[in-house]
Amino acid sequence: MGYNFAAGPSVLPAEVLKKAQEELLDYAHSGMSVMELTHRGPEFSDILSRAKASLRDLMQIPENYKILFLQGGASTQFTMVPLNLAQGKKAYYVESGSFGKKAFTEAQKLAKVIDFEPISLGSTEQSGFDHLVSFASSQIDPEAAYVHVTLNNTIEGTAIYDLPETNGVPLVGDMSSDILAVNYDVTRFGLIYAGAQKNIGPAGVTLVIVREDLLPQVEIFSSMMDYRILAENDSLYNTPPTFGIYMAGLVFDWVKSLGGVPALEENNRKKARLLYDEIDQSSFYQSPVKFEEERSICNVTFRTNSPEMDKKFIAEADQLGFKNIKGHRSVGGMRASIYNAFPYEGVNELVKFMKEFEEKNDL
């Protein structure tokens, strides 16, 4: 028995895996696996429309937003978002973590070939992204295309829980690591995107939720990158990641069965509280996050007072079945990713191990 603390791809609900196993060889008496179904047939059409309807319900997505199941990872959205939304305009970026920085860097690359102006609203890189950038809405030109934020900084362990004011400019949110784990108000966003591999399903699906009036008015040089074409074809412009969408649909049903996003957020807060309480009451462990209110409830980062001790912690934890607890290679330390499907008992067990490890090693 082990616990998988991986940041993504990460733990999936056992019930979902079991259901997929049961249906693996014969989906809905079709005599075929979901992997073998044509994406133009009635079975897959049903899978896709049910997945969309469940997500719309779970996140209370209004009808004037399109839901797209794409490929290319969240990283492709770093380019697709400005390409579709920002031509001829300014676009603001908040660099509070490595992925926010990447989004800005990709936007700058694109700005060399497409007419738009990416502007950084600030970066906390100098202090290791240990806190969020703060900015005033008066800094934002009301004519700008959007303000891009990363809701949960997967690597550094910070998160935005109070959405910023943007002077009427649409908010674009990279929600890769806390979609369905935190109950955000979708109507506050012009566009949301997320890689599936943390809270939604297996890697290979990228979710985009976009307000209809933001679909591009200009022709995009690639149909595969054109939100309007992708939306008009209901994510079926080309062959979609069919099995991943099927799995996402099962995960959406699972989230619903547990009481929806608010119930899961409450559970995630409880799990995170257990860990942060342990970190706070000990002088052996520290949180690298500067402000308590900015601590992520999905990725709990912590460390001891030396990289050698961290290494020992990770090795012993691994031996005991606490898998993938090593922090991201760019920051070191430890990271417990405790997304929706991660069980409360696993966090409890980890806290027990942390206490024992401290007792043995805090000499």
Ligand X SMILES: Cc1ncc(COP(=O)(O)O)c(C=O)c1O
Binding site for ligand X (CB under 6 A): 8, 73-75, 99, 150, 154, 174, 176-177, 195
For 18, the token pair is 């079991």
CB of 81 to ligand X, least distance (A): 12
CB nearer ligand X, residue 154 or residue 301: 154
CA-CA distance, 33 to 140, in Å (whole number)?
Answer: 50
CB of 356 to ligand X, least distance (A): 31
Asked whether the beta carbons of 345 and 1 are under 8 A apart, the reply is no
In the chain, the DSSP E strands lie at 3-4, 65-70, 90-95, 117-123, 146-150, 152-153, 158-159, 171-174, 189-195, 206-211, 299-302, 322-323, 334-337
CB of 279 to ligand X, least distance (A): 22
CB of 201 to ligand X, least distance (A): 12
Q: Using the Cα atoms of residue 73, residue 129, residue 313 and residue 311 in order, give the sign of their dihedral.
A: positive
Residues pairing with 93 in the sheet = 120, 148
CB nearer ligand X, residue 44 or residue 99: 99
Asked whether the beta carbons of 111 and 118 are under 8 A apart, the reply is yes
CB nearer ligand X, residue 150 or residue 340: 150
H or E element at residue 80: helix 73-85
Closest C-alpha to 330, from 72, 154, 151, 198: 154
CB of 71 to ligand X, least distance (A): 10
CB nearer ligand X, residue 154 or residue 340: 154
Burial 22-42 (b: 16+ CB within 10 A, else e): eeeeebeeeeeebeebebeee
Token pair 């943007």 is found at 166
CB nearer ligand X, residue 150 or residue 267: 150
CB nearer ligand X, residue 251 or residue 354: 251
CB nearer ligand X, residue 256 or residue 328: 328
CB of 157 to ligand X, least distance (A): 11
Closest residue to ligand X, based on beta-carbon distance: 73
CA angle 182, 159, 59 (to 5 degrees): 20
CB of 318 to ligand X, least distance (A): 21
CB of 40 to ligand X, least distance (A): 26
CB nearer ligand X, residue 84 or residue 150: 150
**Mind spelling out the 3-state secondary structure of 244-273?**
HHHHHHHHHHHHHHCCHHHHHHHHHHHHHH
